[in-house]
Every structure is written in structure tokens, then in C-alpha cells.
């Protein structure tokens, strides 16, 4: 009995252990199983419980556990489920037992779609090596529920003395013990009686072991049985509660049908009557005179009366004679003191024979006394065998729940046999149709701070009065928000909630309404909130309710992308940041895209919650290194959030991408330039972007024009990989003046930098001496003070030279000290020359020139070095006006004098005036002369003739360079 094909050594051990099942006395393993037998209903699922109740050894582990469910039916034995070493090696298709359950110590076997073949013994065996084992046996019984079929006629006519048969068949049930009983319930008697005239067929066995049985009942129904129902009650083990099936049979009063035989009989009878006319007359007289009172049934009513829906009430009247009858219907509402006539139906004597009428029946057409239009259907009269008559009166009613509930309907039958009349009463119990609530309609996404409408559809109810209450769970409790009852509204939070109703009425008086609650949803108040729509109606015992849960979302706002630095540089790291804010809930996906491709190494941002409004925000950044090719690239910060149908994004295009120019040093070709030989200075400006660039050359700080006088300036443009380059050159033939000139290039690339890029080059011509800068002592020369200006020349190859000083073109002969040429280590000579002089206003803006002449060469090249002294312009000091003589008499001549002193440069303009009169022609101004301070001074005069009274003279001095105006006044 090896129960697995797997030949694992452990398995062998398990098998041996399970097969031998050595005495379990000292085993620590105990199983608990279902109580036997386990009963399972055919085609349903059953569970065979088997669990480890106690085990004190090691813990369970898949490698250390074996489970075997074996099944015995009769003499046959098979395996339902085998589990060893963590492998389910065998299992019935319909058997289920999960490994996880096994490892929890629960070996319960689930059998699905149980059939009769599953009936038998099940053994649950568990083995835990090395020597813990246990087994238990459970019996399984399969039960089958009977299928119950009731056989009957649809309608049975009552009163003909006929018999009816009702059959109740139970089929396919197991176990075979089962029975059926018939019960009759009659409305008038309000009781249920067991029918005893039954016939039970012996149970028959089906091939699958189930049984069939039929219980039949025979009975002869009578008029009183009309309205009865018949039920077959079944008892079987599989029914926990009483089970019955009702027969679909209706009992009706029999109609008279004339058969051929009765036609023949009536012919014979009529012959007999025609023969015996007198006898007939007597018979007729007897017949009319002999009155039989009618039998009146209880008013039959529909099972349920519904507001504004047609209902029929039937009053059966039978077995009366003569055929004279009045059936009246009355209504007595709750508040009415008297019953009111609804309608009346009457059948009178076919001919008026007063002698046969015992009492004259009042038959004046009575009018409807009620305000309602209920009708009595015209009834047909049937004549019975025995000469009596039957009829039924049907009242058609549209009950109104508000008026007619608890009202009484009375059917009164008046017949000559009974002067009192016979009444039957019935009390109306009217039901409304309760509303059907559909699920509350909410918007697919509720947005924070937006208005929301919740719609509660309340359908197909009547009558109209309705109570709607909206609730919400606030602080764990259900609180009403708004109540609506019959047009009146009570809004408990008028600021927050508003309400409206839409209504629709149908022709059958049913109504449908939608109750709509409107409010502004916020995350704080409405996220995860529950709203309830509660509806109360007369048709409902308890209010009906629907609820809806809101999840409020806020969509993220994406700010514009910031770049750091603002003007990104090609090839340098650029950090893009994007702020995403005001979203809810927290879950969000932020992606960076470059031209719709996701950038992989974007940072995962930290999401923070704004404490004020509970919304979330984050700042995502992405580091990129833009290339020239990225000028047109679109960078996107894209956000996906559950509140959004489509992702939102912010875009960034690095339009302001720049690349700084790389400026090489200025080179000279030839490398060692020579006097009067053409040379080219070159500067390479490379890898800049954008293309716009300005290049300017300076020679000794003076901007060079491309007029060809000082050289040819050229530019050549190149473009490589989108970056631009320029080669700027200047070609010239140097003269002695160009020796030691400083050439400077200034490159202005305004997109990348506000400061120009500069390179300088000092042109040193081959074999020429070097002139030092001028030195001044003191450094800041002052007017009227001594100044010494010195310079030196070195690298002179011989002594045959001349040095001279000039002030403008004037050759200076005095104050010059020249040193003797001194031989240096390089075997060249150096000389120092110094000029001493007193600085005066004449030196203002005048060039001082040092000139060097090489006398050894035939063309005697001359080198000039210029300096302009850093002197300032000085405005004049103007003295008070003096008159000579001081007090001239009337008509006496006098002279007004004014001293203008210590100014520089020389240009002064003097205007004398008296009042509005200027004396340009009369005045005289002496030519300014250098004064003791080394500045200019002058005197101005105005000859006048003294007049009577006072005269006001003005002398106005304007110094052009300093733009100083000085005015002096003299009152004579
Ligand atoms: C074992 O599992 C079954 C379902 O798989 C369950 O019905 C039963 O209660 C469990 N038994 C125990 C003891 O946990
Ligand atoms: C039992 O009843 C079923 C259903 O009515 C029927 O199909 C079957 O033939 C019956 N069995 C026997 C043995 O009559």
C-alpha cells in the first residue's frame, strides 16, 4: 500500500509509519475531527474537519509532515489526498486542502459538488517524523433534498358535486424517509385544517439511491370553500424549516351548461307543462310565491389594496328565489357617522304582478352619495337547476390611502324573502407603494473647494407624502443635515448645504423624485465622509436608507520650472526645479521628460503637507547637462494624480543657453617682428554661443578704426557643432612708433557676460632698445612747483645716440640731466635721462616728448615717447572792484579795476555791465601772464564818467574750461 510514486527516503519512512501505525500510546500528537457522521447535501460542498489538537514536539514544517486522507466505501479503499515533504502528490479533483492550512495544523478536507459516490468512511492520518502519528475516522453521508411538484387543476367548479384531486410529488430525495401532508385554509373560517382523505403511493427508488413518493388528496369542495388555498407541507431531514408548496387551484361557482340530455329533458318537461297549462299556472304561482332567501358570501377582496390602483370587491349572492334582488354598496369612512351609498344594482320582477308581490320594493334610482366615482359592474344572473338564482356584484374601487384607509365597505342585499336585507362588511386596509431607492449619484471625482451635488433617486412610490433626511457622520456620530417633509424644509446648516427636489408623476399616480443635496466639498470636512439619504414613507415600516462615501481630491498645481543658473551654460550642470502644490491625496507621480522621453535620474521628491489646508506639495528637481543640441529641447515636469484625467505639466526650453567664448592669447606672426616688416597679430575666440559677438582692437588704449592707417583688421567666422568661433587678425607694417605699443583685443559677448574678455600684446620689435615708463617726482605735479620727469632706455647696442626733450614742438635745452651710457651684462648700454622744470599753467594739456635718435644707422631712426602731465584746470579768483579815484565827482572820469588771478588754462571771458548795458567795447582785459603761483593772472579795466546818484556796475568773469562764472558788483 505505497501511497506515492515518489521514492523519497522520508516518504518511505512516512509510509512505513502510517501503514504500520505502531501503538500510539506515547504519541504526543492528537487530532480533533468533525463529529461523525458529517451530512452533506447533494451537489453542495462539505468539510471534513481534521486538525492537530495537541502537539508538543517540534514545530510543523513542510519537510517534516505527512498527511493522508483515505476513503473506504464498502470494501473499496482509495486515497483522496496525499501530502508528503511539502508536495501534494495525489488529490481528488473535488478535494481541496491548502498547504498553508496544513502548516497551520489544519488538515480539514473540503469536498466540492458532493455526490452519492462520496458516501463512506474517511480516515485522516497525520505523521510527524520520527515517531509522532495519529489518525481519526469520519463518516460522510450524502443527503438529497426532494424536488416538490404539486399537480392540480387550474380551476374547479364548486356546487356540481364534483371531486377534485391534488397531488404532491417528492422526487430524488435521500435518505428515503420523508413525507408530505395537505392543508386547506379557508378565509371565512380563518383556520387551517389537515386533509385526511389522502392516498400515499409507496416510495420508489431511483438508480442513484434517491426516492420518489406522491401524496394525493381527494375532496368535494362546497360553496363555503370558495377562496380556499391548499398547501403541501413536506418534511425531510434536509429541511431545517417547514417547507411547503401551494397548489395553483381556484374554486369557482359552477355555471349551468345544458347538455343534450338536459335539453331533451327540458323538452319533455315543456311538453308536460304545455299539456298541463293550468297545472303550470299553479306551479308558477307556487314558484314565485314560494320565496327562498339568498346566501351571501363574505366580500371577496384582493390580497392587497394599493393606493390609487384598481381593486375589485366581489359579493356572491346565490340560491335565491324569485329573481328579484337589490345589491347596494355603501362606504363608511372613519369620520363618517353614516354609511353612504356608492352604487346600487337592481333586478326587478320581469312583469308587475302586484298580487304575487308580498311587498313592494322601493326602487327609485338612488344616487351616489359619495364624492367618488367607484362603479359597480353589471352582473349576470345565473339560474340554477333548482330554480334558484345566483349572481355576483363587483365593485370597482380606486382607494385613496389618505381618505379610505380603515373605511368600511358594505354590501347590502335586499330580497323579498327578507325585509331586513343581508349585509356584509369589510374594512379597507390600503397600502402605499414604498419608494425604491437607487444608489446615491455622486460626481466621479469630488474636487476640493468645488461644489458637489449628491442625488438620491427615490422612485415609483405612492402616495406622494415623503420625508427625506440627509445625514452625515460627524465626529463618529450620524447627524442630520437637512430634513424635507412635504414641501417644508429644515436646513440645519443653511450656510453649508442647500437642497432641491425634482419630481415626476406617472399617470398611475406613482411618483419619482430626486432629492439633491448641494454643498461645497472640502478635504477637511468631506474626505472619507459618509452621507446618508434616509427616506420615510407610509409604505415603509422603517425608513429606507442609502449612503455614499465621498473622497475629496484636489488637483495639483504645477508652477513654472525654475532653472539654476538662470542662464544655463552649455556643457555645465543645470538644475531644473518644479514646485507642485495643493494636491490631495498624497499619492502622486512626478516625472521629468525631455522631448517626451522620461529622464531616468530625476530625484524622488519629498512630499510635505501644508499644515494650514492639509494639501500636499513637493518640489522636484532634475539635473541635466545641456548641449547645443538641447536648444530646441523641451523639458517637462509632468504630474499624474488621481484627480486628473490627463497629466499636468510645466515646460522649460533652454532658449537662453549660452557658451562663454574661449579667448586665446594674441600671437604674432612672425614670432619675432621686425621694423618695417609686415606682421599679423592673431587672436582666436572659440566655442561661444549665441553667434552675436563684438570684437574691438585697441592700440595704446585707443580704439582702432579699420581705416587702414594703423593696420588691416579682419575677422573670420567658423561654426562647429553649433558653437561659433572667430579668428580676429590685425595686419600692419610696424614703424618705430609701433615699437612697444600695446595692442589689446576686447571681446564683448553680451549674452554670456557683461564684462568684456580681454587679451593684451606688447609689440616688441627685434633689435630695438627698450624704453621704460616715465617716472615723475613728485608723482602728482603741482603748479609753481618743481617736477622731475625721468626715463631710461636699455638694450642699446652702441653709444652713438642722441636723446632730447620737447615741450610740444619746443626743444628744451635746460634742466636736462643725461647719464653716461652704461654697459650691462648683456653687453648693451643703458642710459637715464631726467628733465627738471617748474610746472606752470603753460604745461596744462601740453605734451612732453622724449626723443631718441640712433645715429649709427644711415636712416637715423627716431623713437618718440610722449607724456602729458596730469594737471588740473583751476578756476580764477576775482578781486573786489576798485574805483580810482575812489569818490569821483559828477562828470569826473574814473576807472574801475578788477583783478582776475590764479587760473588755468588761459581762456577767460570778462563782461562789464551797468544795469542792462554791457560795455564790451569800452572794457579792456590784459593778456594773462604766469604769476608767482605758476598760474595765469590778469587785470581788467573799465573807464567811466561819474553821474549823479548811484550806479551799479558788474564785472562777470567766465572761465571756459571749468565753466565757472564769478560776478563782482560795485555801487558808485
Ligand atoms: C480548518 O479550516 C477550515 C476551512 O479550511 C475551517 O472551516 C475550520 O474551522 C478550520 N479548523 C480549525 C480547527 O481551525
Ligand atoms: C422520480 O421522479 C422523477 C421526477 O419526476 C422522474 O424523472 C423519475 O423517473 C422518477 N423515478 C421513478 C423511479 O419513477
Q: Which atom of ligand 2 is nearest to the CA of 206?
A: 13
**Residue 154 CA to ligand 2 centre (angstroms):** 23
Q: Does residue 859 surpass a pLDDT of 50?
A: yes
Q: What is the pLDDT of residue 40?
A: 92
Ligand 2 environment, Cβ below 6 A: 171, 204, 206, 212
**Residue 115 CA to ligand 2 centre (angstroms):** 18
Q: Is 47 in the pocket of ligand 1 (CB under 6 A)?
A: yes
Q: Does residue 362 surpass a pLDDT of 50?
A: no
Residue nearest to atom 14 of ligand 1 (CA): 106
Q: Which fold has domain 770-868?
A: Immunoglobulin-like (2.60.40)
Q: Does residue 43 surpass a pLDDT of 60?
A: yes
Which of 47, 55, 111 to mutate for ligand 1's pocket (most ligand atoms within 8 Å of CB)?
A: 47
**Taking Cα atoms as reference points, which of 122, 129, 31 lies closest to residue 68?**
122
Q: Does residue 282 surpass a pLDDT of 70?
A: no
In the chain, which segments carry CATH 2.60.40.10?
5-143, 147-252, 295-431, 436-553, 557-652, 662-762, 770-868, 877-971
Cα angle: 366, vertex 367, 370; to 5 degrees: 135
Q: Does residue 277 surpass a pLDDT of 80?
A: no
Residue nearest to atom 5 of ligand 2 (CA): 171
Q: Which atom of ligand 2 is nearest to the CA of 212?
A: 1
Full DSSP string of 42-66: TTS-EEE-EEEEE--SSPP-GGG-E
Read off the pLDDT of residues 782-799 as tens digits, 9 standing for 90 and up.
Answer: 999 999 999 999 988 888
Say which CATH class 5-143 falls into. mainly beta
**Residue 108 CA to ligand 1 centre (angstroms):** 6
Q: Which atom of ligand 2 is nearest to the CA of 205?
A: 13
Tell me which of 369 and 236 has the higher pLDDT.
236
Residue nearest to atom 9 of ligand 2 (CA): 206
Q: Which atom of ligand 1 is nearest to the CA of 106?
A: 1
Give the span between the Cα atoms of 361 and 415, in whole angstroms. 9
Read off the pLDDT of residues 150-173 as tens digits, 9 standing for 90 and up.
Answer: 998 888 888 766 788 899 999 999
**Residue 205 CA to ligand 2 centre (angstroms):** 9
**Residue 173 CA to ligand 1 centre (angstroms):** 29
End-to-end alpha carbon distance in the chain: 157
**Residue 795 CA to ligand 1 centre (angstroms):** 113
Q: In this structure, which ligand is nearest to the CA of 34?
A: 1
Using a 10 angstrom Cβ sphere, with 0-12 exposed, 13-18 middle and 19 or more buried, the burial of residue 357 is middle
Q: What is the pLDDT of residue 580?
A: 92
Which of 201, 206, 208, 213 to mutate for ligand 2's pocket (most ligand atoms within 8 Å of CB)?
A: 206
Q: Label residue 664 left, alpha or beta by phi (over 0 means left) and psi (-120 to 50 means alpha).
A: beta
Read off the pLDDT of residues 674-704 as tens digits, 9 standing for 90 and up.
Answer: 888 999 999 999 999 888 999 999 998 889 9
Q: Among all chains, which residue has been given the C-alpha cell 578781486?
A: 879
Neighbour tally for 343: CB within 10 Å: 22
Q: What is the pLDDT of residue 286?
A: 54
Q: Which fold has domain 147-252?
A: Immunoglobulin-like (2.60.40)
Q: What is the pLDDT of residue 261?
A: 62
Length of the chain: 972
Least confident of 268-282, 724-738, 908-922: 268-282
Statement: 877-971 belongs to CATH 2.40.30.170? no
Residue nearest to atom 10 of ligand 2 (CA): 212
Full DSSP string of 507-558: TTS-EEEEEEEEEEE-HHHHTTEEEEEEEE-TT-SS-EEEEEEE-EEBPPEE
Read off the pLDDT of residues 59-106 as tens digits, 9 standing for 90 and up.
Answer: 778 788 899 999 998 888 999 999 988 888 899 999 999 888 888 889
Q: What is the pLDDT of residue 262?
A: 58
Q: Which atom of ligand 2 is nearest to the CA of 149?
A: 5
Statement: 557-652 belongs to CATH 2.60.40.10? yes
Q: In this structure, which ligand is nearest to the CA of 108?
A: 1
pTM: 0.46
CATH no., domain 662-762: 2.60.40.10
CATH no., domain 295-431: 2.60.40.10
Q: What is the pLDDT of residue 27?
A: 56
Q: Among all chains, which residue has been given the C-alpha cell 560795485?
A: 970
Q: Does residue 350 surpass a pLDDT of 60?
A: no
Backbone angles phi, psi at 409, to 5 degrees: -110, 130
- Tell how many helices (H) and how many strands (E) occur in the chain: 6, 82
Q: What is the pLDDT of residue 276?
A: 66
Q: Does residue 4 surpass a pLDDT of 70?
A: no
707 Cβ partners below 8 Å, 6+ apart? none
Q: What is the pLDDT of residue 167?
A: 93
Neighbour-count burial for 51-87, b at 16+ CB within 10 Å, e otherwise = bbeebeeeeeeeebbbbbbbbeeeeeeebbbbbbbee
Q: Does residue 805 surpass a pLDDT of 80?
A: yes
Residue nearest to atom 12 of ligand 2 (CA): 206
Read off the pLDDT of residues 864-909 as tens digits, 9 standing for 90 and up.
Answer: 888 888 999 999 999 999 988 888 888 888 899 999 999 999 899 9
Q: In this structure, which ligand is nearest to the CA of 169?
A: 2
**Residue 321 CA to ligand 1 centre (angstroms):** 77
Q: What is the pLDDT of residue 48?
A: 94
The fourth-level CATH superfamily of domain 436-553 is Immunoglobulins (2.60.40.10)
Residue nearest to atom 6 of ligand 2 (CA): 171
**What is the residue-averaged pLDDT of the chain?**
85
Full DSSP string of 576-612: EEEEEEEEBSS--EEEEEETTEEPTTPPPPPEEE-TT
Amino acid at each position: 500500500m505505497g501511497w506515492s510514486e515518489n521514492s523519497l527516503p522520508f516518504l518511505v519512512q512516512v509510509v512505513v509509519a502510517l501503514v504500520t501505525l505502531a501503538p500510539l500510546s506515547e504519541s504526543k500528537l492528537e487530532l480533533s475531527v468533525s463529529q461523525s457522521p458529517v451530512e452533506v447535501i447533494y451537489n453542495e460542498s462539505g468539510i471534513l474537519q481534521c486538525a492537530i489538537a495537541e502537539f508538543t514536539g517540534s514545530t510543523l514544517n513542510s519537510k517534516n509532515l505527512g498527511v493522508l486522507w483515505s476513503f473506504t466505501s464498502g470494501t473499496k479503499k482509495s486515497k483522496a489526498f496525499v501530502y508528503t515533504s511539502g508536495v501534494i502528490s495525489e488529490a481528488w479533483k473535488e478535494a481541496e486542502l491548502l498547504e498553508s492550512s496544513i502548516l497551520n495544523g489544519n488538515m480539514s478536507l473540503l469536498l466540492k459538488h458532493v455526490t452519492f459516490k462520496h458516501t463512506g468512511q474517511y480516515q485522516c492520518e497525520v505523521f510527524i517524523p520520527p515517531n509522532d502519528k495519529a489518525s481519526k475516522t469520519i463518516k460522510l453521508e450524502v443527503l438529497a433534498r426532494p424536488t416538490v411538484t404539486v399537480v392540480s387543476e387550474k380551476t374547479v367548479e364548486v356546487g356540481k358535486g364534483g371531486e377534485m384531486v391534488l397531488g404532491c410529488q417528492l422526487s430524488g430525495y435521500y435518505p428515503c424517509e420523508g413525507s408530505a401532508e395537505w392543508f386547506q385554509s379557508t378565509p371565512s373560517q380563518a383556520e387551517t385544517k389537515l386533509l385526511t382523505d389522502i392516498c400515499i403511493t409507496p416510495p420508489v427508488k431511483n438508480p442513484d439511491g434517491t426516492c420518489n413518493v406522491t401524496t394525493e388528496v381527494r375532496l368535494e369542495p362546497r360553496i363555503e370553500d370558495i377562496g380556499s388555498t391548499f398547501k403541501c407541507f413536506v418534511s425531510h431531514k434536509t429541511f431545517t424549516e417547514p417547507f411547503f408548496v401551494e397548489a395553483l387551484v381556484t374554486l369557482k361557482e359552477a355555471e349551468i351548461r345544458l347538455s343534450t340530455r338536459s335539453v331533451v329533458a327540458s323538452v319533455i318537461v315543456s311538453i308536460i307543462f304545455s299539456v298541463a297549462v293550468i297545472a303550470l299556472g299553479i306551479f308558477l304561482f307556487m314558484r314565485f310565491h314560494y320565496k327562498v332567501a339568498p346566501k351571501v358570501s363574505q366580500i371577496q377582496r384582493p390580497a392587497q389594496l394599493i393606493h390609487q390602483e384598481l381593486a375589485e370587491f366581489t359579493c356572491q349572492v346565490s340560491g335565491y328565489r324569485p329573481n328579484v334582488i337589490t345589491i347596494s354598496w355603501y362606504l363608511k369612512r372613519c369620520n363618517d357617522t353614516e354609511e353612504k351609498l356608492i352604487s346600487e344594482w337592481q333586478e326587478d320582477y320581469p312583469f308587475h304582478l302586484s298580487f304575487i308581490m308580498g311587498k313592494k320594493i322601493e326602487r327609485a334610482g338612488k344616487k351616489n352619495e359619495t364624492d367618488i366615482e367607484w362603479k359597480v359592474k353589471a352582473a349576470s344572473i345565473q339560474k340554477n337547476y333548482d330554480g334558484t338564482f345566483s349572481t355576483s356584484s363587483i365593485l370597482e374601487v380606486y382607494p385613496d390611502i389618505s381618505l379610505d384607509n380603515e373605511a368600511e365597505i358594505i354590501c347590502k342585499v335586499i330580497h323579498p324573502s327578507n325585509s331586513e336585507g343581508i349585509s356584509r362588511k369589510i374594512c379597507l386596509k390600503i397600502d402605499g407603494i414604498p419608494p425604491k431607492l437607487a444608489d446615491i449619484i455622486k460626481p466621479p471625482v469630488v474636487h476640493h473647494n468645488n461644489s458637489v451635488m449628491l442625488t438620491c433617486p427615490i422612485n415609483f412610490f405612492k402616495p406622494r407624502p415623503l420625508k427625506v433626511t440627509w445625514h452625515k457622520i460627524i465626529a463618529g456620530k450620524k447627524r442630520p443635515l437637512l430634513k424635507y417633509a412635504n414641501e417644508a424644509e429644515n436646513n440645519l446648516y443653511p450656510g453649508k448645504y442647500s437642497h432641491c427636489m425634482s419630481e415626476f408623476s406617472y399617470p398611475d399616480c406613482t411618483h419619482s423624485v430626486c432629492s439633491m443635496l448641494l454643498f461645497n466639498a472640502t478635504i477637511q470636512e468631506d474626505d472619507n465622509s459618509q452621507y446618508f439619504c434616509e427616506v420615510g414613507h407610509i409604505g415603509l415600516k422603517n425608513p429606507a436608507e442609502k449612503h455614499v462615501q465621498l473622497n475629496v481630491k484636489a488637483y495639483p498645481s504645477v508652477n513654472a520650472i525654475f532653472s539654476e543658473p538662470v542662464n544655463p551654460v552649455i556643457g555645465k550642470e543645470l538644475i531644473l526645479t518644479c514646485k507642485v502644490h495643493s494636491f490631495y491625496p498624497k499619492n502622486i507621480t512626478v516625472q521629468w521628460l525631455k522631448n517626451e522621453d522620461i529622464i531616468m535620474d530625476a530625484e524622488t521628491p519629498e512630499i510635505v503637507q501644508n499644515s494650514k489646508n492639509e494639501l500636499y506639495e513637493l518640489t522636484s528637481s532634475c539635473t541635466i547637462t545641456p548641449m547645443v543640441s538641447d536648444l530646441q529641447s523641451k523639458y517637462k515636469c509632468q504630474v499624474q494624480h488621481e484627480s486628473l484625467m490627463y497629466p499636468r505639466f510645466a515646460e522649460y526650453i533652454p532658449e537662453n543657453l549660452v557658451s562663454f567664448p574661449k579667448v586665446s592669447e594674441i600671437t604674432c606672426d612672425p614670432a619675432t617682428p621686425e621694423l618695417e616688416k609686415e606682421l599679423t597679430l592673431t587672436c582666436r575666440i572659440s566655442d561661444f554661443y549665441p553667434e552675436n559677438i563684438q570684437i574691438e582692437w585697441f592700440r595704446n588704449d585707443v580704439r582702432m578704426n579699420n581705416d587702414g592707417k594703423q593696420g588691416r583688421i579682419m575677422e573670420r567666422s567658423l561654426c562647429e557643432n553649433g558653437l561659433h568661433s572667430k579668428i580676429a587678425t590685425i595686419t600692419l607694417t610696424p614703424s618705430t612708433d609701433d615699437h612697444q605699443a600695446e595692442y589689446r583685443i576686447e571681446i564683448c559677448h553680451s549674452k554670456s557676460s557683461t564684462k568684456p574678455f580681454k587679451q593684451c600684446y606688447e609689440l616688441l620689435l627685434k633689435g630695438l632698445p627698450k624704453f621704460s615708463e616715465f617716472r615723475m617726482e613728485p608723482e602728482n605735479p603741482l603748479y609753481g612747483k618743481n617736477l622731475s620727469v625721468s626715463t631710461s632706455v636699455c638694450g642699446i647696442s652702441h653709444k652713438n645716440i642722441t636723446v632730447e626733450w620737447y615741450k610740444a614742438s619746443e626743444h628744451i635745452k635746460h634742466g636736462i640731466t643725461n647719464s653716461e651710457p652704461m654697459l650691462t651684462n648683456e653687453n648693451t648700454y643703458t642710459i637715464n635721462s631726467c628733465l627738471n622744470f617748474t610746472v606752470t599753467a603753460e604745461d596744462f594739456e601740453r605734451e612732453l616728448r622724449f626723443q631718441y635718435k640712433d645715429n649709427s644707422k644711415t636712416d637715423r631712426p627716431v623713437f618718440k615717447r610722449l607724456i602729458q602731465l596730469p594737471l588740473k584746470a583751476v578756476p580764477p579768483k576775482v578781486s573786489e572792484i576798485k574805483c580810482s579815484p575812489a569818490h569821483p565827482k559828477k562828470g569826473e572820469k574814473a576807472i574801475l579795476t578788477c583783478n582776475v588771478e590764479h587760473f588755468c588754462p588761459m581762456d577767460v571771458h570778462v563782461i562789464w555791465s551797468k544795469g542792462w548795458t554791457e560795455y564790451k567795447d569800452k572794457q579792456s582785459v590784459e593778456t594773462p601772464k604766469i604769476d608767482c603761483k605758476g598760474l595765469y593772472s590778469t587785470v581788467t579795466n573799465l573807464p567811466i564818467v561819474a553821474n549823479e546818484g548811484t550806479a551799479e556796475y558788474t564785472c562777470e568773469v567766465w572761465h571756459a574750461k571749468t565753466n565757472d562764472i564769478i560776478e563782482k558788483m560795485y555801487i558808485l
